[in-house]
Structure 1
Amino acid sequence: MIKKVLLLTTIVALCFNTSYVSFATTLTPAQAIEESKVKYEQLDDTITTLNSEISKLNIEIEVINYKLNATNTEIEETGLQIKLINSQIEEAKADIEKNQEILDKRIRSMYESNTNTDMLIYIMTSDNLLDAFNRVYSMSKIVSLDKQMINEINEKSAFLIKGAEDLSKSQSDLNFLKTSALKDLASVNEKQSTQQESLNELNSQKANVASIIEANEEKLISHQLSIINSDSSTSLELTSAISTLKSLIAQISSDYVLDLANTAILDGQAKIDAIEIENSKNAVINNNSNNSNNSNNSNNSSTTDNNNNSGNGNSTSGDGEYIATYAMSATAYTGGTITASGLKPIRDPNGISTISVDPSVIPLGSKVLIPGYGYAIASDTGGAIKGNIIDLYLNSHEECVSWGRQNVTLHLIALPGTW
């Protein structure tokens, strides 16, 4: 009962939290995302606990059903024994009635013929003493057999009646056990049904939180999608967007958003290929129309090369043009299933990793560069992460211990929604 009360309390609390995250207007975006993170982890833990409880109930139901089947078998066997005893009782009753009829006739005959007088006459008319003795013995034998018959009838009747009573009691006990087992089964089934309803409700709540996470992940790649979907994007912009999408894929858990990202990568590459083909065609046309002026062609070629080199320089130096640079004190953490931004925490030395920041210093969703750690997205928060303190995500507890606390430089490369 206590477990059930605690369970219902948890569900009510979780439902309240979900509506608060979804509809409260007093929360900042960072606070709302943090709420969804905590909510998701709470739901995950509660669902795991419920699944464990339901598994235990399933085992309990199996045990009760096994006992119930055994009891039903005993009831059936006892019922057959009762039928057999009842049949024997009926046969005994028939024998008793038959023997009773014989005794009744004999007693009636003795009464009607005044047996006491007849016996004296019967003895007095003996031929000799031996004959008289034999007659007396015969009469006593008849009386003895009659008494024996009466005793046997009474004993057999008492035995059968007692057997029937014992079996009836056994059947009554078994029926009680069956009723008790059915009551226990109904109670466990009700408990299982209640917990299953709770589990369904929690899964529904988890799905709502997952939709928030999916929205966060879609927002994370929205800038790259807009570049790839734009008809005015340059080859350089498309290449940069594709590169960023590939680095972000590891942080995406939603199949829908993963499909968006992978489709955008393919579309972006197709656009780059189309631009290169178009540029090649234009180059051929320009070469054919300017055959008479080799000098101009050389100058044009030089100009084109210079422009291309200038574009590559911008791409290379893009990460060097920092919005801001901070001196930070960095600790390390590991574990967890979801960040405050609703993303998976990851450590990818060759891509983009996860760090925790104070959103009032580094906005959530910003892209940063930390020499010695690499590129990262500021997607998590923490109670102790205030001011110029950051937390770097690593893959193991040992790595975190080895890192300890270090002073690092953080370069802010891009703000949320701009990369």
Structure 2
Amino acid sequence: MHYRTREVVRVVTRRSYDCDVLVIGGGIVGLSTAYALTRAAPGTRVTVLEKESGPARHQTGRNSGVIHSGVYYRPGSLKARYAVSGAAEMVEFCAEHDIPHAVTGKLIVATAREELPRLHALVQRGRENGIAVRELCAAQLAEYEPEVDGLAAIHVGTTGVCDFTAVARRLAQAARAAGAEIRYGARVVRVDRRPDRGVAVLTAAGDVVRGRVLVNCAGLHCDEIARRTGDEPGARIVPFRGEYYELARPELVRGLVYPVPDPAFPFLGVHLTRGVDGGVHVGPNAVPALAREGYDWRTVRPRELGATLAWPGSWQLARRHWRYGTGELHRSLSREAFTRAVRRLLPAVREDDLVPTAAGVRAQAVLRDGTLADDFLIQETARAVHVLNAPSPAATASLPIGREVARRTLAALETAGR
């Protein structure tokens, strides 16, 4: 069977192309890229391959639905630029297409004196990124959120919430209407990239699809797709599960409430998010997942776990952040401990107020030295564009990210044509 697979791929490379651009991944970034390609270069033949039976089944559809303002991100970084512009665009897109959304603003709350300098640093960072930020004392904080406790806070007015799954579905519809083909249930098992002939992929169903340029938007599996293409991404995806609860008394929270984040770690801490459905999500904590799609402790995939443990960066990361990680694990295994963490912001919450709900897994790129990639990471190689790190705020920034990936892809198509 192994030799037969190779033979099929070789035979197909001698045939005509099935498409100009072959996108792997039907999450919000892959679909935004397809959408951007059809708008920027009408007539470009685009095919999207998604292994699930529908769009947005992983990172896109398993988060708290926040349209991030960009207040946290390093000025000048892709995250800062795309989050700020992407937030405004996302609100416009949702309004235009009748997708549930709301611009609610959010509070970032300092609950201890040692957090105050970090809170003030966020004010400066937000202003450098062009975001209006209002500083609040404890009394002013109570006007926004009477049940939230804190020494001081900042209010970021451009933060909002939306239904990102609905956004992904609408992007897919628009791309299809412009001529793109989207195939669901098409899991890629092999990639054969020939710089002089294009890229051919084999799906688990035995179909072979050939394109002139490959775009890798495979999220939790993007590093594996890059390596199958013959490229070394220089990083590995280390999956972190974010575990959420639903608040049984949503009346305790009016909007969005966040703690002051630890700048040494890319996660924002346990926060409170009132969604478009009126429910309040609490979380997430962040624990290592035992599989790329390990949404609970019972899901273990030895091959994927072994690959994570074999990556030197995983051990460097664990050595550097073991204290933080131990606290996250404790909160994962103990609802009482998780409740104590929530009470720092919301003292009135009780343990029985927290109802477990769906978890998500963050596709976090980790470099060989254990450094967490803290910006979007896009790699261009011969006839391929790989999106190798696009965790939060990728959903917020998906429209400008899609345009950027499309721009690089069209340049690769032009090069291939020459």
Give the TM-score normalised by the residue count of structure 2.
Answer: 0.21
Structure (1/2) with the larger strand percentage: 2
Q: Which of structures 1 and 2 has the larger relative contact order (alpha carbons within 8 angstroms, sep 6+)?
A: 2
Give the TM-score normalised by the residue count of structure 1.
Answer: 0.21
Larger Rg: 1
